[in-house]
Structure 1
Amino acid sequence: MAKKRILITGAAGFLGSHLCDRFIKEDFHVIGMDNLITGELRNIEHLFHLENFEFYHHDVSKFVHIPGKLDYILHFASPASPIDYLKIPIQTLKVGSLGTHNLLGLAKAKHARILVASTSEVYGDPIVSPQSEEYWGNVNPIGPRGVYDEAKRFQEAMTMAYHTFHKLETRIVRIFNTYGPRMRLNDGRVLPAFIGQALRGEDLTVFGDGSQTRSFCYVDDQVDGIYRLLFSDYTQPVNIGNPDEITIKQFGEEIIKLTGTKQKLVYHDLPVDDPKQRRPDISKARAILGWEPKVNRTEGLKITYAYFNSLPEKEILHKDFTYFNKH
């Protein structure tokens, strides 16, 4: 019996590479695609020798062609950190719009089911907490984060249009803060930023007063939620994240304890439109997918810290705080 074939875009990225691993493990033929604008080949090089894996270096914002049968598509191609999407705002908008359109068209042509990666950023700076899928969000479309937030909101609208008009098999996952090995140490997100500063012996930078909250989901849990959603019959958006909420100040203190650094927290102005609270309502994921996170933050952080600590010294020492300097 022929193996099921799945295209994973953003395959060399943090989440995309873990999804490649999962579907290889599940005995799929995996076709990875990435333009490497933020992805890194080292995340998937361990798969290159496998007969069930192939890789295309390609930008999905351009026409996408995959020869042969295709059963599933996972669209995970997009910059996902503030530093990235402020450096490359046009590409971020294009991959969420043109890229999504191209992949929906490919799914239609191949009669494939497609799951698109949306984000908790569609909720913007929320005025309700926790955020359920019924909340429409509080987004500034012309602010610095708008290029990412609105690209994802458009992506959801386009996906649902293909579902309702073309009867395409679609799924939408709204991903909340996820962490684990293969994150980029200097991508501007709070967890790698804190660990990077701790490894360099620097004080940990807290933006605002540290009262803003985040909820961190370990990557293996996130991948399992996405896997379950793809094979479910549910076509509306589903939050996948960990509802265990923590303030940034408390999180910084956790990182100091974990890393044993002697540094302290220092406070800077809050970036424009930075969300004050982020906590998923995962009632739907529990009820529909039978999913909830299993890896607690203490365990997940130990694994993640060990990964960052194993990186070459030049990566640890490299810093890029473009986002925070400008905003």
Structure 2
Amino acid sequence: MSKERVLITGAAGFLGSHLCDRFMKEGYYVIGMDNLITGSMDNIAHLMGQEDFEFHHHDVTKYVHISGDLKYILHFASPASPIDYLKIPIQTLKVGAHGTHNLLGLAKDKKARILVASTSEVYGDPLVHPQTEEYYGNVNPIGPRGVYDEAKRFMESITMAYHTYHKLETRIIRIFNTYGPRMRLNDGRVLPAFIGQALRGEDLTVFGDGSQTRSFCYVDDLVEGIYRLLLSDYAYPVNIGNPDEITISEFAEEIIKLTGTAQKVIYKDLPKDDPKQRKPDTTKAQELLKWSPKVNRAEGLKITYDYFKSLDREKLFQTEHKDFEKYSKK
């Protein structure tokens, strides 16, 4: 008996590669797709050559063709870190619009269920705390972060349109800050930025006064939430994230303690439209999916830190992180 087949876009990225692992473990035949604009083949090198995995080097903003049946499509193709979507804003908008449209069309043709990866950024700089799925957000559509925020908001809209008009089986996940092995060390996100600075012996840079908050979810917990949502019968957006909130200043001190380094914390101007608070209301996930995060921050950070320490020095000293200030002020 042939295995059920799943297409995962963004397969060579941080989250996409972990999803490939999970679906392989669950006994699916996995088709990974990525244009490698931000993904890395290193993330899926361990899957290449396995009989239940195939990889397509393809840009989903172009027509997507897959031969044979598909049971599920998981659309995770998108730049997700600030340094990426600030450097390639048009590609970010196109993958949210054209890419999502192409994959919804493929799902309709294959009669497949599709899950799209939205984000807490649809809430913008929120005026409601914690953020519930019913909150419409506070987004600046023409600000520097608008290219990512609005790409994801459009993704949700067109997905719901296909659900209501074409009766397509759709699922929407709103992902809050997630971390773990295979993150890029210098991609502009706060956790890898702090660990990278600590490993290089640099002072930790906090943007703003450090009172802004984030809530960090370990990747294994997120993947479990994605899997449960895909198999559920709920078509509307669901927050998946860890509601354990912490200020950025407190988090910087945690990283210094974790790494055993003696750096100090320095403060710089807050980038435009950077959210002041970020904490998911996960009531829906708890009630509908029986899901809640299991990995506490101390445990997850230790695993992630050990992963980053294992990287070679060339990756450790890449200067990608230095571009963040340049692009975030535009």
Q: What is aligned with 2:161?
A: 161
Report the Cα offset of residue 256 of structure 1.
0.1
1:67 aligns with 2:67: yes
Unaligned stretches of 5+ in structure 2? Answer: none
Report the Cα offset of residue 276 of structure 1.
0.1
**What does the per-residue CA deviation read over 1:238-271, in whole Å, with 9 as the maximum and x for residues that have no partner?**
0000000000000000000000111010000000
CA–CA distance in 2 between the matches of 1:323 and 1:29?
Answer: 38
Task: Give the match's secondary structure for 1:252.
Answer: helix
CA–CA distance in 2 between the matches of 1:161 and 1:301?
Answer: 39
Q: What is aligned with 2:177?
A: 177
**What does the per-residue CA deviation read over 1:53-110, in whole Å, with 9 as the maximum and x for residues that have no partner?**
0000000000000000111000000000110001111100000000000000000000
CA–CA distance in 2 between the matches of 1:221 and 1:66?
Answer: 30
Task: Give the match's secondary structure for 2:46.
Answer: helix
CA–CA distance in 2 between the matches of 1:87 and 1:188?
Answer: 11
State the identity %. Answer: 77
Q: What is aligned with 2:297?
A: 297
1:143 aligns with 2:149: no
Report the Cα offset of residue 323 of structure 1.
2.3
**What does the per-residue CA deviation read over 1:19-40, in whole Å, with 9 as the maximum and x for residues that have no partner?**
0000000000000000000000
Q: What is aligned with 1:260?
A: 260
Matches within 5 A, 1:111-150: 111-150=111-150
Q: What is aligned with 1:323?
A: 324
CA–CA distance in 2 between the matches of 1:50 and 1:11?
Answer: 15
Task: Give the match's secondary structure for 1:47.
Answer: coil
CA–CA distance in 1 between the matches of 2:188 and 2:255?
Answer: 16
Aligned residue type for 2:325: F
Q: What is aligned with 1:58?
A: 58
Matches within 5 A, 1:213-228: 213-228=213-228
Task: Give the match's secondary structure for 2:205.
Answer: strand
Report the Cα offset of residue 2 of structure 1.
1.9
Alpha-carbon RMSD across the aligned residues, in angstroms, is 0.5
CA–CA distance in 1 between the matches of 2:324 and 2:302?
Answer: 27
1:203 aligns with 2:203: yes
Q: What is aligned with 1:212?
A: 212
CA–CA distance in 2 between the matches of 1:316 and 1:42?
Answer: 15
Q: What is aligned with 1:3?
A: 3
Aligned residue type for 1:58: H
**What does the per-residue CA deviation read over 1:101-157, in whole Å, with 9 as the maximum and x for residues that have no partner?**
000000000000000000000000001110000000000000000000000000000
Q: What is aligned with 2:45?
A: 45
Report the Cα offset of residue 293 of structure 1.
0.1
User: Normalised by the size of structure 2, how large is the TM-score?
Assistant: 0.99
Aligned residue type for 1:206: V
Task: Give the match's secondary structure for 1:46.
Answer: coil
Aligned residue type for 1:324: E
Report the Cα offset of residue 283 of structure 1.
0.1
Aligned residue type for 2:180: G
Deviating above 6 A after TM superposition, structure 1's stretches of 4 or more consecutive aligned residues are: none
CA–CA distance in 2 between the matches of 1:140 and 1:233?
Answer: 33
Unaligned stretches of 5+ in structure 1? Answer: none
Aligned residue type for 1:159: T
CA–CA distance in 2 between the matches of 1:272 and 1:226?
Answer: 31
Aligned residues: 327
Aligned residue type for 1:93: L
**What does the per-residue CA deviation read over 1:283-321, in whole Å, with 9 as the maximum and x for residues that have no partner?**
000000000000000000000000000001011111222
Report the Cα offset of residue 171 of structure 1.
0.1
Q: What is aligned with 2:288?
A: 288
1:239 aligns with 2:245: no
User: Normalised by the size of structure 1, how large is the TM-score?
Assistant: 0.99
